[in-house]
A and B are shown apart, each in its own frame.
Chain A
Amino acid sequence: MTLPDLAPFWLTLRLGLVVMVSLLALAMPLAWWLAHTKCRLKPLFEAITALPLVLPPTVLGFYLLIAFSPRAPFGGAFMRLTGETLTFSFTGLVLASMVYSLPFAVQPLQAAFEALGRAPLEAAACLRARPFDRFFTVALPLSARGLLTAMVLSFAHTLGEFGVVLMVGGNIPGKTKVISIAIYEQVETIKLAEAHASSALMLAMSFALLLAVYSVNRRFPQAGGA
């Protein structure tokens, strides 16, 4: 049996972690706003946030590829700022994956924040806690389940992406060749033993991750005050 090339595996892990962390930073304020806003435009923002759930990855990837192009306003601005292109780069892959996994981070958080309600936050406010203090010491700990779900889903969903990566990142070893692309290539070139090894690795890792999460999840309190 041949050992699989581990470079795509490490690249995938790195991508997953970077996307998870960046996405949480974006999704927490967005989910908080969606959970509490009385703005009439809320359904519009919810629909936009949920779009990556229903769009075929190739469609999403196609539009992202166009937006990332150095000739497009967004891709051009990025090029002028950093001197790098977004297409066929790790940074581009991170941005594309963030868009692709956005609903998986926002929706569990939004549901947790909505279930939390205003009651614990009002209690905290009357105990002299300011808004950021309330968010980090009351809202987040009471939404621990939702937070964990959002972290795991955005990480896991990024591990499994294929279509968007293929469109935006291509297949550059060490830069954009993630494991799903590597397996696809191994099967295409009839390196079935390597495909077996890579797939088994992914299967074991995904299962271990989910098992760990569900075991930990039982210990968190359910959202809601008492």
Chain B
Amino acid sequence: MLQLDVSLARPGFTLSVTQEFASSGVTAIFGPSGAGKSTLLRLIAGLERDAKGRIQFGDDIWQGPGRFTPPEARGVGYVFQDARLFQHLSVAGNLRFADRRARGLAGPGWDEAVEMLDLGPLLARRVAGLSGGERQRVAIGRALLSRPRLMLLDEPLAALDAARKADILPYLERLRALHALPILYVSHDLAELARLAEQIVVVVAGKVAASGPLAAVLADPALAGVLGARGAGAVLDVTLVRHHVADGLSEVAHPAGSLFVPLLAVPSGGMLRMRFAAEDVMLARTRPEAISALNILPATVMALADAPDGVAVGLRIGPDAAQARITHRSARLLALEPGTEVFAILKSVAIARTDVANDAKLDRTTAP
């Protein structure tokens, strides 16, 4: 368990956070640029000496009145946005730098880390010749080999294009599968976070604006203003039923009904996590007929809240919470109120491929 009660004053900016973080799994730290997400990570790592307050990790007080544990004694694995590999060392040299200083500590071994991140072919390479994606893989491996008690990932994919991001995400999913290692993952990309994280902490202007289970936070209409119409939405856990190759679609099952998404390279029975943005969800009082949208699920209105550009409608779709963003006019015409039964319409093309994720944690959702 990581407990923070800290503040840091900078000219024109103050970070002030009181928050508990889960002791396992991935916690997303989400927020707009300049909100203080990276500063928060630096503070946890011990890289901001002028921060005030208290930081406790498990039984260790990393920072408190009159005490400050330096970064080298905290045991955090920090993956920087710009990788920060050592230029004067080879890939193997970078990994060894971490490995040597963490001998005898519990954590992944050399072979395990190299295999997990497919670093074998890179070991002899010079750092200068690596691509952006390779750099981040090496940086993650190096951080792992320092046998950290807590991983801090600061937008590790921000410098990569969409294709490279898709290459790296499976490695991050493997990292997540190391259950003993809690991960704080900073990003301003909700598609990425929805794929990896269970918990989310939303940081806006140096303060925590919301926190909790990711799906619940994304679907909470009261947070619509903080998350934006592309941020708020839903995360649904679904199962792959079959592929319709001729139509270029895959059919997935959700407790509330079937959905069609662009063809996926996932076998039947595979578990997936899908994310929808609130602005890609339409609502109807009766089941629409003869409509080009393929995905229509029955839903119940749970709550309504004013959003900057309309009305945020909190929904329940089967077991999952979701959110739709509609105009004031539509809300009035549909006479929506809590308890109203509606149909949520999701156009299948509105589901970007990167918004559909393989769920590595099969046992979590299939367990009775």
Residues of A whose CB lies within 8 Å of any CB of B are: 119-120, 122-130, 133, 137-138, 141-142, 144, 221-222, 224-226
Contacts and interface: CB of A to CB of B under 8 A. Distances in A.
Contacts of A137: 97
Given A126-B71, A128-B102, A144-B88, A119 B97 contact: no
A130 B100 CA distance: 13
Contacts of A141: 88
B87 A125 contact: no
Interface in B62-119: 70-73, 75-78, 80, 82-88, 97-98, 101-102
B146 interface: yes
B72 A130 contact: yes
Contacts of A129: 72, 97, 101
Contacts of B334: none
User: Which of A120, A124, A127, A226: most chain B Cβ within 10 A?
Assistant: A127
Contact of B76 (A124, A126, A130, A133): A126
Given A125-B70, A128-B75, A226-B127, A142 B86 contact: yes
A126 B88 contact: no
Contacts of B45: 126
Contacts of A123: 78, 80, 84-86
B146 A224 contact: no
Given A127-B97, A128-B146, A226-B127, A138 B86 contact: yes
A140 to B, nearest CB: 9
A225 B84 contact: yes
B80 A119 contact: yes
A226 B77 contact: no
Contacts of B135: 226
Contacts of B82: 119, 225-226
A127 B98 contact: yes
A226 B83 contact: yes
Contacts of B70: 125
B128 interface: yes
A120 B86 contact: yes
A26 B303 CA distance: 70
Given A120-B87, A137-B97, 10 more contacts: A119-B84, A122-B84, A128-B146, A129-B72, A142-B86, A144-B88, A222-B87, A226-B82, A226-B87, A226-B128
Interface in B43-60: 45-47
Contact of A126 (B87, B127, B143): B143
Nearest to B47: A122
Contact of B85 (A126, A130, A133, A226): A226
B40 to A, nearest CB: 15
A221 B128 contact: yes
Contacts of A226: 82-85, 87, 127-128, 135
Nearest to A130: B72
B87 A225 contact: yes
A45 to B, nearest CB: 23
A144 B71 CA distance: 26
B142 interface: yes
A129 B98 CA distance: 8
Interface string B142-185: 11001000000000000000000000000000000000000000
A122 B71 contact: yes
Contact of B87 (A130, A133, A142): A142
6 contacts: A120-B87, A123-B78, A127-B98, A128-B146, A130-B72, A226-B83
B87 A221 contact: yes
B128 A126 contact: no
Nearest to B46: A125
Contacts of B142: 127
Interface in B214-271: none
A137 B88 CA distance: 10
Interface string B312-331: 00000000000000000000
Contacts of A119: 80, 82, 84
Contacts of B128: 221, 226
A221 B87 CA distance: 7
B72 A142 contact: no
Contacts of B75: 128
A78 B368 CA distance: 85
B51 to A, nearest CB: 15
Contacts of B97: 124, 127, 129, 137
Nearest to B73: A128
A49 B71 CA distance: 33
A123 to B, nearest CB: 4
A47 B46 CA distance: 34
A224 B72 contact: no
B98 A142 contact: no
Contacts of A130: 72
A144 to B, nearest CB: 7
B86 A126 contact: no
A224 B142 CA distance: 19
A86 to B, nearest CB: 40
B258 to A, nearest CB: 47
B87 to A, nearest CB: 5
B28 to A, nearest CB: 21
